[in-house]
């Protein structure tokens, strides 16, 4: 576990081996996760000509991560989050149910050629919580996630739109935003237009950091640092997956404010 911590803080991510407690959660959560696709209120999340169900906050789990008969989220990843990130007793958010299908990303109406290319060639690389707003897509710090926990729900292979990270980019992002927010009280951070500094950090990370694809199986999990540049690769021809596609649940709770978001390890 010590190794996990060093790996996580140096590279910005780590992977957890098969965990029977997590596997039992996946078994119980799979039916509710599948059901999100049938919910008409969630139809808006089916994008890119049906090749990606983004499913943001779609899983109807409670603040302990329990859904259906799953019971609370438990196991090695949750213990790591408590011990190494110091995060306990927070409310788990409703998980994202992210499902990719063969062909992702087919063109989406209204998406500019530049953004479509960035999605295809740069995995739609982004940092969570810096939301684009308005026609100019100006970005502001709106969410302060503690981490990103990825839980594969079904079997699929490494070519099925893997989660991608740029290793070590969390420190590049931290450095840029530390400079940008220096001398400002935290109440003012959310008001700042951070579009330019975000793009600068992203460009530097894309140039300097190694791009790594993560894969895991049901019962395994991966944890990404809240500040890491990450994305999702296109579906490669010949990728092997079942009818559920590449289904991953992501938890991204907001356990603290901007100060911790920027400065915690
Ligand atoms: Fe993300």
Structure confidence by residue, pLDDT tens digits, 6-30: 999 999 999 999 999 999 999 999 9
Cα(146) to ligand 1 centroid in Å equals 12
Cα(81) to ligand 1 centroid in Å equals 18
Peptide bond into 263 cis (omega under 30): no
- Quick check: 156 and 265 in contact, CB under 8 A? no
Cα(127) to ligand 1 centroid in Å equals 6
Give residue 168's pLDDT: 98
Residues of the chain with pLDDT under 50: none
Residue 117, C-beta contacts closer than 8 angstroms, at least 6 positions apart: none
**Three-class DSSP category at 160:** coil
Structure confidence by residue, pLDDT tens digits, 93-122: 999 999 999 999 999 988 899 999 999 999
Cα(226) to ligand 1 centroid in Å equals 9
Ligand 1 is an ion; its neighbours by CB within 5 Å are 128
Selection from 58, 127, 53, 95 nearest residue 253 by Cα: 95
């Amino acid at each position: 576990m010590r190794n996990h911590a060093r790996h996580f803080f140096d590279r910005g991510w780590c992977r957890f081996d098969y965990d029977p407690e997590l596997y039992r959660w996946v078994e119980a959560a799979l039916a509710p996760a599948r059901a999100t696709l049938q919910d008409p209120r969630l139809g808006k999340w089916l994008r890119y000509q049906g090749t990606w169900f983004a499913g943001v906050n779609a899983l109807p789990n409670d603040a302990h991560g329990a859904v259906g008969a799953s019971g609370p989220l438990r196991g090695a990843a949750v213990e790591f989050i408590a011990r190494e990130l110091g995060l306990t007793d927070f409310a788990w958010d409703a998980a994202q149910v992210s499902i990719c299908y063969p062909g992702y990303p087919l063109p989406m109406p209204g998406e500019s050629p530049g953004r479509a290319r960035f999605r295809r060639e740069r995995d739609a690389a982004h940092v969570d919580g810096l939301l684009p707003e308005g026609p100019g897509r100006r970005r502001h710090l709106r969410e302060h996630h503690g981490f990103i926990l990825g839980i594969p729900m079904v079997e699929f292979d490494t070519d099925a739109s893997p989660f991608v990270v740029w290793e070590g980019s969390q420190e590049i992002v931290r450095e840029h935003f530390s400079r940008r927010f220096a001398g400002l009280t935290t109440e003012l951070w959310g008001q700042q237009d951070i579009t330019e500094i975000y793009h600068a950090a992203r460009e530097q990370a894309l140039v300097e950091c190694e791009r790594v694809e993560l894969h895991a199986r049901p019962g395994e999990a991966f944890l990404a640092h809240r500040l890491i540049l990450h994305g999702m690769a296109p579906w490669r021809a010949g990728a092997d997956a079942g009818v559920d596609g590449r289904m991953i649940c992501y938890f991204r709770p907001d356990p603290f404010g901007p100060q911790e978001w920027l400065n915690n390890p």
